Structure 1
């Protein structure tokens, strides 16, 4: 089982649906932003449909 350490979402959580904006589970979460780091793996940020609409976030696939 993968654990969440350091505030980023693990792959398992992303598949289950986790929104970084309201910090909770979601069935509509999609990737909206990728954070690149100089050393180590980057991180993906996911947002659910209501959070995307409220904040004007665009899914990465549509950018």
Structure 2
């Protein structure tokens, strides 16, 4: 009799980013970096979006470019 195959558990313990979504202007779980705004002098900035806003607005996360 064959042994049952082992299915790995769901990745519930995988860290997820929690922060501000610049598209819907609210906090959200699982945000992704969308763009880095660089300036010649002084600090730049970053723009994040949640999964729902990424899908609705057809955004491409910075790491996936």
2:19 maps to 1:25: no
Output the CA distance in 2 between the equivalents of 1:20 and 1:55.
12
Do 2:18 and 2:30's aligned partners in 1 also have CA atoms closer than 8 Å? Answer: no
Render the CA deviation track for 1:4-59: whole Å, top value 9, x for unaligned. xxxxxxxxxxx531100111000011101111112111100000001000111111
Output the CA distance in 1 between the equivalents of 2:51 and 2:64.
14
Q: How many residues align?
A: 49
Do 2:19 and 2:31's aligned partners in 1 also have CA atoms closer than 8 Å? Answer: yes
Alignment TM-score, normalising by the size of structure 2: 0.69
Unpaired runs of 5+ in structure 1?
1-14
**Poorly superposed stretches of 4+, deviation over 6 Å:** none
Alignment TM-score, normalising by the size of structure 1: 0.71
Greater per-residue strand proportion: 2
